[in-house]
């Protein structure tokens, strides 16, 4: 695809149209990013499957076997590891896409200084690459759930409905952080701390029912909480997602997507001068 003739994109053009216009470029960037992560290794892309499988084993041994942690009174050690991993998968994809996007402009100065290159595609590449790895990990998770429950939940077909708002939020915040990372060089460190705090405020490592009543408002206004809850419902419990909570997540994702795009387009002309 020839993207050189479309270098100057009007600010009013919707962000989705931009992604559609450069879909071929983004697709090739994602493939290259995934292959470069495991370039030269013996197992190659298979590490994207081996790693989550080993993580489930480690979670089982440490959190359940040693600390005797479990979700619910009837939950076993292995089921705790699966529930924990189910919450971690989308969070890792979300935070990894944002964190890598924060330094995407400074890490690709040669592309930023090319007038004809659509730099908007770089944060999108990182977000999609993280989601692909999440899906590979989800395949391992479903296999683990199959071993545990001897069946696959039909609600797994609702997975795309959860991926979309998550991806919108990741891309939007990625655009915003990529821009801020050019002008504020402390943004990677700030993001790391902010995302760590956000992770612990999200019911990933602990069930929601142990949260004291006076702190429940933090979960109610946390857009990632219903997303994690819905992943566990459709993949492990065979239940419908938390539709009301997902409305909050979807609204958050849409706002992040549009604002991030607007901010990135408004500031990108100064990138080359600052870098």
Residue with tokens 């915003």: 176
Identify the band that residue 224 occupies on the pLDDT scale cut at 50, 70 and 90. very high
> Does the pLDDT at position 131 exceed 90?
yes
In this prediction, residues 188-209 reach a mean pLDDT of 91
C-alpha distances in angstroms, 179 versus 143, 166, 174, 193? 39, 20, 9, 18
Give the predicted TM-score (pTM) of the model. 0.87
Count H helices, E strands: the chain? 13, 0
DSSP tag of 60: I
Cα(214)–Cα(116) distance, rounded to whole angstroms? 53
- The percent of residues above 90 in pLDDT, for the chain, comes to 48
Of the CA atoms within 13 Å of residue 177, those in its CB half-sphere come to 31
Cα(233)–Cα(9) distance, rounded to whole angstroms? 41
> Does the pLDDT at position 48 exceed 60?
yes
In this prediction, residues 93-103 reach a mean pLDDT of 95
Between 147 and 115, name the one with better pLDDT.
Answer: 147
> Does the pLDDT at position 8 exceed 60?
no
Contact 15, 257 (CB under 8 A): yes
Dig out the tokens for 153 from the structure. 């939940």
Residue with tokens 């081996």: 50
pLDDT of residue 180: 96
Dig out the tokens for 123 from the structure. 């944060």
> Does the pLDDT at position 121 exceed 80?
yes
Cα(223)–Cα(207) distance, rounded to whole angstroms? 16
> Does the pLDDT at position 129 exceed 60?
yes
Dig out the tokens for 9 from the structure. 């994109």
> Which residues 6+ apart lie within 8 Å of 152 measured at CB?
142, 145, 146
Identify the band that residue 262 occupies on the pLDDT scale cut at 50, 70 and 90. very high
pLDDT of residue 7: 47
φ, ψ at 221 (rounded to 5°): -105, 10
CB environment 212-226: b (16+ within 10 A), e (fewer): eeeeeeebeebbbbb
């Amino acid at each position: 695809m020839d993207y050189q003739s479309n270098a100057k994109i009007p600010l009013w053009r919707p962000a989705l149209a931009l992604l559609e216009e450069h879909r071929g470029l983004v697709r090739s960037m994602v493939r290259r990013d995934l292959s470069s992560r495991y370039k030269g290794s013996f197992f190659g892309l298979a590490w994207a499957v081996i790693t989550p499988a080993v993580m489930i084993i480690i979670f089982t041994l440490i959190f359940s076997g040693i600390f005797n942690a479990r979700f619910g009174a009837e939950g076993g050690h292995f089921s705790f590891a699966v529930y924990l991993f189910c919450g971690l998968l989308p969070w890792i994809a979300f935070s990894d896409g944002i964190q890598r996007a924060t330094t995407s402009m400074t890490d690709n100065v040669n592309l930023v200084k090319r007038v004809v290159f659509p730099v908007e595609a770089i944060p999108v590449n990182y977000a999609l690459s993280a989601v692909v790895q999440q899906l590979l990990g989800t395949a391992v998770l479903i296999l683990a759930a199959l071993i545990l429950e001897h069946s696959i939940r039909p609600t797994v077909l609702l997975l795309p409905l959860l991926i979309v708002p998550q991806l919108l939020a990741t891309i939007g915040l990625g655009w915003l952080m990529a821009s801020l990372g050019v002008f504020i060089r402390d943004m990677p460190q700030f993001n790391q701390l902010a995302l760590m705090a956000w992770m612990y405020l999200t019911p990933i490592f602990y069930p929601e029912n142990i949260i004291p009543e006076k702190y429940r408002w933090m979960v109610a206004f946390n857009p990632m909480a219903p997303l994690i809850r819905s992943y566990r419902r459709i993949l492990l419990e065979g239940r419908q997602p938390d539709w009301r909570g997902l409305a909050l997540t979807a609204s958050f994702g849409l706002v992040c997507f549009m604002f991030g795009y607007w901010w990135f387009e408004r500031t990108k002309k100064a990138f080359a001068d600052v870098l």
